Amino acid sequence: MSSMNLLQAINNALDIAMSKDEKVVCFGEDVGFFGGVFRATSHLQEKYGRARCFNTPLVEQGIIGFANGLAAQGHKPVAEIQFGDYIFPAFDQIVNETAKYRYRSGNEFNVGGLTIRTPYGGGIKGGHYHSQSPEAYFAHTPGLKIVVPRNPHQAKGLLLASIRDENPVIFFEPKRLYRASVGEVPEGDYELPIGKADIVREGSDITLLAWGAQMEIISQAASMADNEGIDCEVIDLRSILPWDIETVVKSVQKTGRLLVSHEAPLTNGFGAEIVATVQEHAFLSLESPILRVCGLDVPYPLAHETEYMPDASKVFEAIKHSVHY
Amino acid sequence: MRPSTVHTPELIAQDALHIPTFKLLKQDGTLYQGAAEPEFDESFAVKLYQDLVFTRVLDERMVNAQRQGRIPFYLASLGEEAASVGSTAALKDQDMIFAQYREQGALRFRGFTAEQFMDQCFSNERDLGKGRQMPIHYGSKALNYMTISSPLATQIPQAAGYSYGQKLQGNDAVSICYFGEGAASEGDFHAGLNMAAVLNCPTIFLCRNNGYAISTPAEEQFKGDGVASRGIGYGINTIRVDGNDLLAVFVATQMAREYALANNAPVLIEAMSYRLGAHSTSDDPTGYRSKEEEAKWAKKDPILRYKHWLTQKGWWDDNKEKALYSEYREEILAQMKAAEKRPVPTLDHLITDVYDEPTEQLKQQLTELKQHVRKYPNQYPKTSGRLDA
Give the active site residue among B110, B208, B279, B305.
B279
The answer to whether B238 and B244 have CB atoms below 8 angstroms apart is no
pLDDT exceeds 90 at position B74 = yes
CB contact under 8 A, B199 and A54: yes
Quick one: pLDDT at residue A68?
98
Q: Is the dihedral of CA A116, A121, A126, A127 positive or negative?
A: positive
Q: B186: which chain A residues are within 8 Å (Cβ-Cβ)?
A: none
CB contact under 8 A, B198 and A67: no
As a whole number, the mean pLDDT across chain B is: 97
Q: How far apart are CA B290 and CA B288, in angstroms?
A: 7
Q: How far apart are CA B378 and CA B364, in angstroms?
A: 23
Q: How far apart are CA A308 and CA A56, in angstroms?
A: 35
Counted residue by residue, chain A has a size of 325
B308 is catalytic: no
The string of pLDDT tens digits covering residues A305-324 is 999 999 999 999 999 999 99
Give the active site residue among A130, A135, A153, A233.
A130
Nearest to A105 by CA among B123, B140, B352, B179: B140
The string of pLDDT tens digits covering residues B28-65 is 999 999 999 999 999 999 999 999 999 999 999 999 99
Q: How far apart are CA A234 and CA A232, in angstroms?
A: 6
Give the active site residue among B288, B349, B372, B386.
B288
CB contact under 8 A, A107 and B353: yes
CB contact under 8 A, A67 and B161: yes
CB contact under 8 A, B355 and A143: yes
Flag whether residue A54 sits within 8 Å of chain B, measured between CB atoms.
Answer: yes
CB contact under 8 A, A93 and B190: no
How many CA atoms lie less than 13 Å away from B14 in the CB half-sphere? 5
The string of pLDDT tens digits covering residues B264-298 is 999 999 999 999 999 999 999 999 999 999 999 99
**Tens digit of pLDDT at every position of chain A (325 positions):** 999 999 999 999 999 999 999 999 999 999 999 999 999 999 999 999 999 999 999 999 999 999 999 999 999 999 999 999 999 999 999 999 999 999 999 999 999 999 999 999 999 999 999 999 999 999 999 999 999 999 999 999 999 999 999 999 999 999 999 999 999 999 999 999 999 999 999 999 999 999 999 999 999 999 999 999 999 999 999 999 999 999 999 999 999 999 999 999 999 999 999 999 999 999 999 999 999 999 999 999 999 999 999 999 999 999 999 999 9
Flag whether residue A91 sits within 8 Å of chain B, measured between CB atoms.
Answer: no
Quick one: pLDDT at residue B3?
85
Best of A64, A108, A114, A273 to mutate (most B CBs within 10 Å, chain B) = A108
The string of pLDDT tens digits covering residues B76-93 is 999 999 999 999 999 999
Flag whether residue A132 sits within 8 Å of chain B, measured between CB atoms.
Answer: no
CB contact under 8 A, A69 and B162: yes
Nearest to B78 by CA among B90, B61, B66: B61
As a whole number, the mean pLDDT across chain A is: 98
Q: B354: which chain A residues are within 8 Å (Cβ-Cβ)?
A: 102-103, 142-143
Q: B127: which chain A residues are within 8 Å (Cβ-Cβ)?
A: 106
pLDDT exceeds 90 at position B389 = no
Q: How far apart are CA B98 and CA B146, in angstroms?
A: 5
B288 is catalytic: yes
pTM for the whole thing?
A: 0.98
The answer to whether B146 and A73 have CB atoms below 8 angstroms apart is no
Quick one: pLDDT at residue B313?
97
**What value of ipTM does the predicted structure carry?**
0.97
Quick one: pLDDT at residue B1?
72
